[in-house]
Structure 1
Amino acid sequence: MLDAKVRNWIYTTGRKYRYGDSIHLFSTKRGKIGLGALGMVLFLILSLIFSCPSAYAQDPNGAPTLTENQLTPESGAWGDNFTFKITYIDNENNLPALGYPKVYIDDHPENMGEDNRLDNDVTDGKVYKYVWASTKENIGDHNFYFYVEDYLGRNARVPENGEFEGPNIGKQAVRISCELDNPDPAPGEEILFIGHLETNKYDLDISGENVILYEILSDGTSEAGSDITNENGLFAIELKIPREKLGVYKITFHGSDYFEAVETGRLYTDSLNNNLFLGVDVILLALVSIASFFLSRNIANKDLLKPLLAGSIIGITFQFIVSAFIALFAAGGLAGYMLARETDKWKDHLSIGVMTGLLLLLVFGVLFIYTLLSSPEMIIQYSITQGGVFRIVTTQILLLSVLYSLLTGIGSIIGGKIRESGFFH
């Protein structure tokens, strides 16, 4: 029943209208279809309204949001600057409350500043940042999170629970350099190792650090002195050279609570008597000359010079571009091959090969002694007395004389046999 007072009934073709005091209804079939269509339209409109994102779609309470958190760099050394960034968004353009956003580093709050003070529109995001100037007390692993409130008391936190890891702050790397005021002292003289301990950051205090001078020996190291760095990281260590020797040293900083360890390369002092080694060259020249005289007695001088020079040139050349073993065989082989044109005696071939080897020994022996005196770091790796150096030189020369003579002698015999066989004719 319809709770309304009916006044009139009006019939028209296909329709019947009922009028009451306050309402009227369609009672025909077409009228009912119209009401159904209207209801469907209203349903669709309401569905669209509630399904579309509203101004508070990200948060039903309309709270601000924080996104795009950054930490740059994620690790480094104390003294470095670490930058924290966060993007603040509020769809109603409500700015953060005074003193916000904050970054909590190890639960300690730090106020963040605006990355762009002219940007007053936070609906599309505004970046805030905080630059943390770390100190030596900050060495270690850290964690952080971001927090913000607006003037309405609404807040946001990133991450919602827990913290982000970082930054990892380590010790400050250092460099060490050192020079000798007199690298070629006479025995009994004092020398000074003057050095500098420094970091990449010139404003860091590196005073009061202990640096130690070590002498490098064949069986280890021995402490030879030490010093404490001044406010500029400078140090100076004095050392007395007791006797004739080739000294090898290094200066080491073993590190501290705030700085990493570092050491210099090898530092050389030379108090050797160089005249002694020049005398070794003279003796070597004399021995080679005497040996060559006896070996060449059965060979005519006119047949000797060309094979000897050609073999020596090949030996020196191959020594640098191939290997010593091949160079000696090639040198002797060429000398024996060339001499076989004048004599077929294998003893003569052997003699020319040994002489070629001794001539090569003279060349490389002189070069070895010169290198030892001018660039000892290429040969010697630890401190050694003059007697020890002399033993190394004489032992090397004796061993090489046997090796050179053997290889070039065998090569010359083979070279002579090849020439006699007519292999290359």
Structure 2
Amino acid sequence: MPGPISPRHDALDGLSQIIGEGRMLSDVTSDATWQDLAPAERATAQRLITETLRFLGRADYLLTPNLTRQPPLRVMNLLRMATVELMTGGAAHGVVNEAVKLAGRNRKTAPMKGLVNAVLRKITALEPAVWDEAPDTTLPKWLRPRLAKAWSKKAVAQIERAHAVPPPVDISVKSDAQGWAEKLQGTLLPTGSVRLGARGQISALPGFEDGDWWVQDAAAAVPVNLLGDVAKKRVLDICAAPGGKTMQLAAKGADVTALDISETRMARLRENLQRTHLAAHTVVEDALTFEDGFFDAILLDAPCSATGTIRRHPDLPYVKTQTGIDELVALQRALLSRTLQRLKPSGLLVYCTCSLLREEGEDQIKWLVSQYENLEVVTPDVPGIEPDWISSEGGIRLRPDYWPELGGMDGFYMALLRRSGEPSPG
């Protein structure tokens, strides 16, 4: 009779849904079966999924010579998950036995218990160096050629290597970044964010409950810095939830209006504002129809493919496709045009996306300045930005392979623009 279900069982189910059905990890973990898990079990299952997806390329490289043909997806995923566990420090006896038990729980996979046992025994005999030298998980076929054309095949390989490094946790602080870096045993990054050192439950760290800081990738924190001194200025944050940039603006003394189309996401933003004791006007509305006077500065963090966040969300390559990119590009352009109607003369606009695609970044700014005569791209003048990050049209291109010695960053694009007079199509 089967024993109790372990976190590995839920992880295996989740892997098969992500790889086989194209479900997001966030959707998988929202299922009722996951809600019944104890917090520790839930965390373990989610970690197993994330690490297996992150190291899928290496696992397949090690498994392929030991398989005469690829088994059904569920068995293959079981082998992948166990291989990743074994090669990243898992106890051989426990991992192999658990994998065999998992195969036996399903009538379709039970006949392959012997295969699972035999293959994993061979994996346990491998030297650790084999894992370190194995090829990284490659980007999706629809994405890889685009990025190679934009930069180079070498750059793409560097990005894939960066995706294989578990991402650190970055935070933005209200004040005294150096002090918080020391208190949290972290590192003060060149752009002003703090990268945490010690791992642990985020909410249990000093300063979290008091609202002294919030989690925000270092790359995502740069766009607000482009606006410079925003104290007492009226600033609109479009697509604001969950609120990292809103909190940055509020902490700098801006009169912030946070705009988002989702009430659910806005509720999370309000919770974050409450915890950090920061204030902002929150509005749930479509940015394409929003009207509330004019603003000194606007930050548009536009909806995008999110391809810059694959290192944090390794499920994205199995969910996202090139389908819908054209629609996103069209929406971004509509938002940019609408945004200009809410910007005061001489006002500043920051456009940004967490995308690696030029169509959602550099090309959008080139299009925008070609449409409006009274727009100029402003050369960024903020700490920590390296000259090589400045793209030809004047924006900032951040990639996951930057700061390799510090642990990398998310992929991001951003540009600062200034307008004068009323916008008129060029």
The TM tier, using the shorter chain, reads under 0.3
- Normalising by structure 2, report the TM-score: 0.24
Q: Identify, as 1 or 2, the structure richer in helix.
A: 2
Pair member with larger Rg: 1
Higher relative contact order (CA 8 A, sep 6+): 2
- Normalising by structure 1, report the TM-score: 0.24
Q: Identify, as 1 or 2, the structure richer in strand.
A: 1
